Structure 1
Amino acid sequence: MFEKRDGEKLLQTDPADMPADGHIVFIGRIASPWTSRQTCPKNMRAAREAGQAATVLIDPAYRDGLLALERASHIVILSWLHHAPRALIVQRPRHAAEPKGVFSLRSPARPNPVGLHIARLMAVDIDNGRIDIDAIDVFDGTPVIDIKPYFASTDAFPEATIAGRDEK
């Protein structure tokens, strides 16, 4: 459970208690060195700075989907942040003076706790369903929803900014 901070708001109904409607399946799990909130990096930059590689383990039924993935230098991993609270709609991050809506944050606490991670692809082993990546910022055992190749030509926007935030 989490502790609500001043200025934070909860939804009237926790999305975790609502009937499923997306038919999302998990295609595998992430093997990472992170087992607690205290040790898990808060973002991919911090994960890379920690110097700990990780592995995405794909379930047998989905392994054929890895064919030709090795062509990509980087991949996008969509994960299900299954330990995150889902009812928190307004949050006050520790580093922020004012509360912010969940959709203006990258926090894992959100109605649908989908994680977005861009990782350097190190190796692919289709037979064993193993994808080695440079780093990850999620707990060991986190479910994987999808994997996509990262295309710098269409996915990167170097001019993108967030007002009032130092991106250094």
Structure 2
Amino acid sequence: MNVKAIGLVNSPFKVKMGSPHQGRFSDEMSTITIFKEYEDALEGIENFKNFMVIYWMDRADSVSLKVVPHGKKEKRGVFSTRAPVRPNPLGLCMVELVKKEGNILTVRWLDALDESPVLDIKPFVPEIDCP
């Protein structure tokens, strides 16, 4: 498997403690700096209000197959939760695009920690992404 980071997050969330469990619970702004070699891939992104950011939760420090989800009392399988303690710590977060300046995207609702590697960005398309 060959996975490459396409950029880095610049976030107000420097450590796990105090960061939101879901990005939609915070109006904090973050930026995503796309590496120059991938800048052409951003063409047209400003035509979308929302997009999904896939990032590597590089500071997830353990793997658990069963967890107690935030606000719940019973353990359940990690694949039925959004807990970060996964076999492959991929983060997925829907963000709102605030502005694009060159290779830098300013977004709202991103829950990634500062300097998290970004793996991919995909536009949110309601006709496809909503059941």
Q: TM-score, normalised by structure 2?
A: 0.93
Q: Percent identity?
A: 29
Structure 1 residue 43 and structure 2 residue 13: aligned? Answer: no
Contact 2:24 2:110 in 1 (8 A): no
Aligned length: 131
Structure 2 Cα separation of the partners of residues 40 and 92 of structure 1: 18
Structure 1 residue 83 and structure 2 residue 62: aligned? Answer: no
Contact 1:86 1:113 in 2 (8 A): no
Corresponding letter in the other structure for 1:139: L
Structure 1 residue 103 and structure 2 residue 73: aligned? Answer: no
- Structure with the greater relative contact order (CA < 8 A, sep ≥ 6): 1 or 2? 2
Structure 1 residue 28 and structure 2 residue 4: aligned? Answer: no
Displaced runs of 4 or more, over 3 A: none
Change (3 A) 1:25 1:105: same
Structure 1 residue 153 and structure 2 residue 130: aligned? Answer: no
Structure 1 Cα separation of the partners of residues 25 and 48 of structure 2: 23
Q: Secondary structure at the match of 1:147?
A: strand
Structure 2 Cα separation of the partners of residues 46 and 135 of structure 1: 7
Shift of 1:134: 1.6
Structure 2 Cα separation of the partners of residues 140 and 94 of structure 1: 22
Shift of 1:86: 4.5
Shift of 1:125: 2.1
Counterpart residue number, 1:137: 111
**Structure 1 residues without counterparts, runs of 5 or longer:** 1-21, 158-168
- Structure with more of its chain in strand, by fraction: 2
Contact 1:121 1:132 in 2 (8 A): yes
Q: Secondary structure at the match of 1:24?
A: coil
Q: TM-score, normalised by structure 1?
A: 0.73
Contact 1:86 1:112 in 2 (8 A): no
Corresponding letter in the other structure for 1:34: F
Q: Please, what is the CA RMSD of the aligned residues?
A: 1.4
**Structure 2 residues without counterparts, runs of 5 or longer:** none
Structure 1 Cα separation of the partners of residues 8 and 113 of structure 2: 10
Match of 1:58 among 12, 34, 42: 34
